[in-house]
Chain A
Amino acid sequence: GESVGLHLPTLSVQEGDNSIINCAYSNSASDYFIWYKQESGKGPQFIIDIRSNMDKRQGQRVTVLLNKTVKHLSLQIAATQPGDSAVYFCAEGYGQNFVFGPGTRLSVLP
Protein backbone atom coordinates (compact mmCIF):
# COMPACT_ATOMS: atom_id res chain seq x y z
CA GLY A 1 0.00 0.00 0.00
CA GLU A 2 0.91 3.66 -0.19
CA SER A 3 2.50 5.56 2.66
CA VAL A 4 0.13 8.44 3.12
CA GLY A 5 1.99 9.90 6.07
CA LEU A 6 5.55 8.79 6.61
CA HIS A 7 6.26 11.21 9.42
CA LEU A 8 2.92 11.52 11.12
CA PRO A 9 2.35 11.28 14.85
CA THR A 10 1.14 7.83 15.78
CA LEU A 11 -1.39 6.76 18.35
CA SER A 12 -1.30 3.11 19.38
CA VAL A 13 -4.26 1.66 21.25
CA GLN A 14 -5.33 -1.78 22.34
CA GLU A 15 -8.25 -3.34 20.55
CA GLY A 16 -11.39 -2.59 22.51
CA ASP A 17 -10.05 0.56 24.14
CA ASN A 18 -11.25 4.05 23.30
CA SER A 19 -9.15 6.27 21.04
CA ILE A 20 -8.85 10.03 21.17
CA ILE A 21 -7.30 11.82 18.22
CA ASN A 22 -6.61 15.52 18.50
CA CYS A 23 -6.42 18.37 16.05
CA ALA A 24 -5.39 21.96 16.65
CA TYR A 25 -6.83 24.27 14.07
CA SER A 26 -5.42 27.58 13.01
CA ASN A 27 -8.16 30.06 12.23
CA SER A 28 -10.56 31.41 14.83
CA ALA A 29 -12.95 32.27 11.98
CA SER A 30 -13.32 28.61 11.00
CA ASP A 31 -16.91 27.52 11.44
CA TYR A 32 -17.10 24.06 9.90
CA PHE A 33 -14.96 21.05 10.71
CA ILE A 34 -14.71 17.56 9.27
CA TRP A 35 -12.90 14.40 10.30
CA TYR A 36 -11.69 12.05 7.59
CA LYS A 37 -10.27 8.53 7.76
CA GLN A 38 -7.71 7.45 5.18
CA GLU A 39 -6.52 3.90 4.79
CA SER A 40 -3.24 3.20 3.06
CA GLY A 41 -3.45 3.70 -0.68
CA LYS A 42 -7.05 4.89 -0.59
CA GLY A 43 -8.92 8.17 -0.70
CA PRO A 44 -10.13 9.88 2.49
CA GLN A 45 -13.48 8.75 3.83
CA PHE A 46 -15.86 11.17 5.56
CA ILE A 47 -16.45 10.25 9.21
CA ILE A 48 -18.25 13.08 10.94
CA ASP A 49 -18.59 16.85 10.82
CA ILE A 50 -19.47 19.63 13.23
CA ARG A 51 -20.34 23.28 12.90
CA SER A 52 -19.09 25.97 15.24
CA ASN A 53 -22.48 26.48 16.85
CA MET A 54 -22.06 23.06 18.46
CA ASP A 55 -19.46 21.69 20.84
CA LYS A 56 -20.23 18.00 20.53
CA ARG A 57 -21.66 15.68 17.94
CA GLN A 58 -22.04 11.93 18.03
CA GLY A 59 -22.12 9.33 15.33
CA GLN A 60 -21.85 5.58 15.29
CA ARG A 61 -18.97 4.81 17.68
CA VAL A 62 -17.49 8.24 17.07
CA THR A 63 -17.81 11.57 18.86
CA VAL A 64 -16.36 14.90 17.81
CA LEU A 65 -15.68 17.59 20.39
CA LEU A 66 -15.02 21.20 19.52
CA ASN A 67 -13.38 23.68 21.86
CA LYS A 68 -13.40 27.04 20.14
CA THR A 69 -11.70 28.77 23.05
CA VAL A 70 -8.45 26.93 22.44
CA LYS A 71 -9.10 26.07 18.79
CA HIS A 72 -9.08 22.35 19.41
CA LEU A 73 -10.96 19.51 17.84
CA SER A 74 -10.96 15.90 18.91
CA LEU A 75 -12.28 12.63 17.54
CA GLN A 76 -13.18 9.90 19.98
CA ILE A 77 -13.58 6.35 18.74
CA ALA A 78 -15.27 3.94 21.11
CA ALA A 79 -14.22 0.29 21.37
CA THR A 80 -11.48 0.62 18.77
CA GLN A 81 -11.35 -2.21 16.25
CA PRO A 82 -8.59 -3.41 13.91
CA GLY A 83 -10.50 -1.91 10.99
CA ASP A 84 -10.07 1.51 12.57
CA SER A 85 -6.34 1.45 11.80
CA ALA A 86 -5.76 4.35 9.41
CA VAL A 87 -4.64 7.96 9.21
CA TYR A 88 -7.19 10.40 10.59
CA PHE A 89 -7.11 14.07 9.68
CA CYS A 90 -9.26 17.07 10.35
CA ALA A 91 -10.31 19.83 7.99
CA GLU A 92 -11.35 23.34 8.99
CA GLY A 93 -13.52 25.52 6.79
CA TYR A 94 -13.62 29.30 6.70
CA GLY A 95 -14.56 31.70 3.95
CA GLN A 96 -14.11 29.86 0.66
CA ASN A 97 -11.39 27.63 2.02
CA PHE A 98 -10.82 24.28 3.56
CA VAL A 99 -7.51 23.61 5.29
CA PHE A 100 -6.53 20.01 5.93
CA GLY A 101 -4.30 18.86 8.74
CA PRO A 102 -1.53 16.31 8.09
CA GLY A 103 -3.19 13.70 10.23
CA THR A 104 -2.49 11.17 12.94
CA ARG A 105 -1.84 7.50 12.32
CA LEU A 106 -3.97 5.22 14.50
CA SER A 107 -2.52 1.78 15.10
CA VAL A 108 -4.73 -0.82 16.79
CA LEU A 109 -2.86 -3.45 18.74
CA PRO A 110 -4.29 -6.96 19.13
Chain B
Amino acid sequence: DGGITQSPKYLFRKEGQNVTLSCEQNLNHDAMYWYRQDPGQGLRLIYYSQIVNDFQKGDIAEGYSVSREKKESFPLTVTSAQKNPTAFYLCASSIGGVRQTQYFGPGTRLLVL
Protein backbone atom coordinates (compact mmCIF):
# COMPACT_ATOMS: atom_id res chain seq x y z
CA ASP B 1 0.00 0.00 0.00
CA GLY B 2 1.21 3.50 -0.76
CA GLY B 3 1.25 6.01 2.02
CA ILE B 4 3.06 7.94 4.68
CA THR B 5 4.27 6.29 7.84
CA GLN B 6 5.41 7.94 11.02
CA SER B 7 7.10 6.34 13.97
CA PRO B 8 6.87 6.01 16.82
CA LYS B 9 3.23 6.67 17.62
CA TYR B 10 4.22 7.93 21.08
CA LEU B 11 7.59 9.35 22.09
CA PHE B 12 8.81 10.44 25.48
CA ARG B 13 11.54 12.99 25.88
CA LYS B 14 13.59 13.69 28.96
CA GLU B 15 14.68 17.22 29.68
CA GLY B 16 17.79 18.16 27.70
CA GLN B 17 17.41 15.26 25.32
CA ASN B 18 17.19 15.38 21.54
CA VAL B 19 14.67 13.04 19.95
CA THR B 20 14.07 12.16 16.32
CA LEU B 21 10.71 11.50 14.72
CA SER B 22 10.64 9.36 11.62
CA CYS B 23 8.63 10.04 8.46
CA GLU B 24 8.72 7.80 5.39
CA GLN B 25 6.63 7.96 2.20
CA ASN B 26 6.40 5.61 -0.76
CA LEU B 27 4.17 7.87 -2.85
CA ASN B 28 7.11 9.15 -4.90
CA HIS B 29 6.24 12.65 -3.75
CA ASP B 30 8.87 15.35 -4.14
CA ALA B 31 7.80 17.59 -1.26
CA MET B 32 7.58 16.74 2.42
CA TYR B 33 6.50 18.77 5.44
CA TRP B 34 6.48 18.75 9.22
CA TYR B 35 3.68 20.34 11.20
CA ARG B 36 2.99 20.77 14.85
CA GLN B 37 -0.57 20.50 16.16
CA ASP B 38 -1.61 21.89 19.53
CA PRO B 39 -5.11 21.67 21.02
CA GLY B 40 -7.48 24.28 19.61
CA GLN B 41 -5.00 25.55 17.05
CA GLY B 42 -4.45 25.08 13.35
CA LEU B 43 -1.45 23.19 12.05
CA ARG B 44 1.78 25.18 12.15
CA LEU B 45 4.57 24.53 9.67
CA ILE B 46 7.93 23.62 11.15
CA TYR B 47 10.02 22.73 8.09
CA TYR B 48 9.43 21.70 4.52
CA SER B 49 11.51 20.22 1.73
CA GLN B 50 10.71 20.40 -1.95
CA ILE B 51 13.65 18.31 -3.17
CA VAL B 52 16.32 16.05 -1.76
CA ASN B 53 19.14 17.79 0.12
CA ASP B 54 17.16 21.02 0.38
CA PHE B 55 14.75 22.27 3.03
CA GLN B 56 13.30 25.54 4.29
CA LYS B 57 12.21 26.80 7.66
CA GLY B 58 8.54 27.19 8.31
CA ASP B 59 6.82 29.44 10.82
CA ILE B 60 8.10 27.73 13.98
CA ALA B 61 11.47 26.18 13.10
CA GLU B 62 13.30 27.22 16.26
CA GLY B 63 14.32 24.22 18.34
CA TYR B 64 13.88 21.78 15.47
CA SER B 65 16.11 20.38 12.75
CA VAL B 66 15.54 18.20 9.69
CA SER B 67 17.41 16.38 6.97
CA ARG B 68 16.40 15.17 3.51
CA GLU B 69 19.02 12.73 2.33
CA LYS B 70 16.52 10.52 0.52
CA LYS B 71 13.35 11.34 -1.34
CA GLU B 72 11.39 8.89 0.80
CA SER B 73 12.54 10.11 4.21
CA PHE B 74 12.26 13.38 6.13
CA PRO B 75 13.17 12.91 9.81
CA LEU B 76 12.55 15.65 12.35
CA THR B 77 14.76 16.16 15.39
CA VAL B 78 13.30 17.97 18.37
CA THR B 79 16.29 19.46 20.13
CA SER B 80 16.75 20.45 23.74
CA ALA B 81 16.37 24.06 22.60
CA GLN B 82 12.66 23.47 22.03
CA LYS B 83 11.28 24.39 25.44
CA ASN B 84 7.69 23.35 24.84
CA PRO B 85 7.89 20.22 22.72
CA THR B 86 4.73 18.49 23.90
CA ALA B 87 2.48 18.32 20.85
CA PHE B 88 1.17 16.10 18.08
CA TYR B 89 3.59 16.10 15.15
CA LEU B 90 2.33 15.48 11.63
CA CYS B 91 4.34 14.72 8.55
CA ALA B 92 2.88 15.33 5.10
CA SER B 93 3.92 15.01 1.49
CA SER B 94 2.77 16.35 -1.85
CA ILE B 95 3.52 15.63 -5.50
CA GLY B 96 4.98 19.02 -6.21
CA GLY B 97 5.46 22.24 -4.32
CA VAL B 98 3.80 23.70 -1.30
CA ARG B 99 0.56 24.53 -3.10
CA GLN B 100 -0.23 20.97 -4.06
CA THR B 101 -2.58 18.85 -1.99
CA GLN B 102 -0.77 17.54 1.06
CA TYR B 103 -1.37 14.04 2.37
CA PHE B 104 -0.67 13.34 6.01
CA GLY B 105 0.81 10.55 8.05
CA PRO B 106 -0.78 9.20 11.24
CA GLY B 107 1.21 11.47 13.57
CA THR B 108 3.54 11.13 16.53
CA ARG B 109 2.55 12.30 20.01
CA LEU B 110 5.59 13.71 21.84
CA LEU B 111 5.43 13.93 25.61
CA VAL B 112 7.96 15.31 28.05
CA LEU B 113 8.90 13.31 31.15
Which positions in A face B, CB cutoff 8 Å? 2-8, 32, 34, 36, 41-46, 49, 89, 91, 93, 96-103
Q: Which residues of chain B (50-108) have a CB below 8 Å from chain A?
A: 88, 90, 97-99, 101-107
* B43 within 8 A of partner (CB): yes
Beta-carbon contact of A34 and B39 below 8 Å: no
Complex interface: chain B residues within 8 A of A5 (CB):
39-40
Residues of A within 8 A of B107 (CB): 2, 41-43
Given contacts A3-B39, A5-B39, contact A45 B98 (CB under 8 A): no
Assuming the A-B contacts A4-B39, A41-B107, A44-B104, are A98 and B99 also in contact, with contact meaning beta carbons closer than 8 angstroms in the complex?
yes
Assess whether B42 is interfacial by the CB under 8 Å rule. Answer: yes
Residue numbers in A under 8 Å from B109 (CB-CB): 2, 41
